[in-house]
Amino acid sequence: MTDSPPPSPAVEAPAKRTLLQRWWFDVVLWKRILLALVLGVIAGLLLGEQANAIKWIGDLFVRLIRMIVVPLVFVSIVAGVAGMGDPRRLGSIGAKTIFLYLLTTAIAVGVGMVMGTLFGPGKGVTFEGVTPEAVGTAPPVSEQLLGIVPLNPIEALARGDILAVIFFSFLVGAAILAVGEKADPVRKLFDSGVDIVLYITRLVMEVAPFGVFALMAWVMGTAGLSVFYNIFLLAAALLVGCIIHILVVHGGMLRVLAGLPIWPFFRDIPDAMMVAFSTSSSAATLPVSMRVAEKNLGVSHTVASTALPLGTTVSMDGTALYIGLLAMFTAQAFGIELSLTQYLLAGLTTILVSVGTAPIPSASLFMLAAVLTTMGVSPEQTALVVGFVLPFDRLLDMTRTVANNTSDLAVAVTVAKWEGELDEASYRAKPVE
pLDDT tens string 139-183: 565 666 677 788 898 998 888 777 688 788 888 888 888 888 888
Do residues 287 and 365 lie in contact, with contact meaning Cβ atoms separated by under 8 Å?
Answer: no
DSSP state of 48: G
Encoded amino acid at 247, one letter: L
Distances (CA, A) of 283 to 59, 179, 194, 254, 265: 15, 31, 17, 23, 21
What is each CA distance from 137 to 116, 186, 284, in whole angstroms?
Answer: 24, 42, 25
pLDDT at residue 253 in the model:
96
Of 197-206, 290-299, 351-360, the range with the highest mean pLDDT is 290-299
Q: Which residue, 305, 304, 297, is CA-closest to 424?
A: 297
DSSP 422: B
Establish if 22 belongs to a structural domain: no
* Cα 240 from Cα 249, distance rounded (Å): 13
> Is residue 363 assigned to a domain?
yes
Query: Residue 203: is its pLDDT beyond 90?
Result: no
Confidence of residue 44 (pLDDT cuts 50, 70, 90): confident
The reply to whether 7 falls in a domain is: no
- pLDDT-derived band of residue 2, with 50, 70 and 90 as boundaries? very low
Domain that holds residue 237: 30-428
User: Per the domain annotation, does 13 fall within a domain?
Assistant: no
DSSP 182-205: GGHHHHHHHHHHHHHHHHHHHHHH
Greater confidence (5 vs 30) lies with 30
Q: What is the pLDDT of residue 52?
A: 84
Percentage of the chain surpassing pLDDT 90? 18
We report the CATH number of the domain holding residue 77 as 1.10.3860.10
In the prediction, which pLDDT does 139 show?
Answer: 56
CA 431 to chain centre: 22
Q: Is the pTM value of this prediction over 0.95?
A: no
Give the residue, 1 or 162, on which the prediction is more confident: 162
| Structural domain count of the chain | 1
Burial class (CB in 10 A: 0-12, 13-18, 19+), 421: buried
Tell me if residue 173 falls in helix, strand or coil. Answer: helix
Let me know if residue 395 belongs to a domain. yes
Asked whether 144 and 356 are in contact (CB, 8 A), the reply is: yes
Nearest to 302 by CA among 166, 179, 422, 429: 422
Confidence of residue 281 (pLDDT cuts 50, 70, 90): confident
Name, of 87-91, 191-195, 370-374, the range with top average pLDDT: 191-195
Is 3 inside any structural domain? Answer: no
Question: In angstroms, rounded to a whole number, what is the distance separating the alpha carbons of residues 281 and 61?
Answer: 12
- How far is 165 from 387, CA to CA, in rounded Å? 33
pLDDT, greater one: 417 or 86: 417
For residues 378 and 388, the answer to whether their CB atoms sit within 8 Å is no
Q: What's the pLDDT at 364?
A: 64
In a domain, 17, yes or no: no
Q: What is the mean pLDDT of residues 368-379?
A: 73
Q: What is the pLDDT of residues 383-400, one digit of tens each?
A: 777 767 765 677 788 888
Q: How far apart are CA 296 and CA 299, in angstroms?
A: 8
Alpha-carbon span 329 to 371, nearest angstrom: 13
Q: Is residue 21 part of a domain?
A: no
- In this predicted structure, the answer to whether residue 275 has a pLDDT above a threshold of 50 is yes
3-class secondary-structure state, position 134: coil
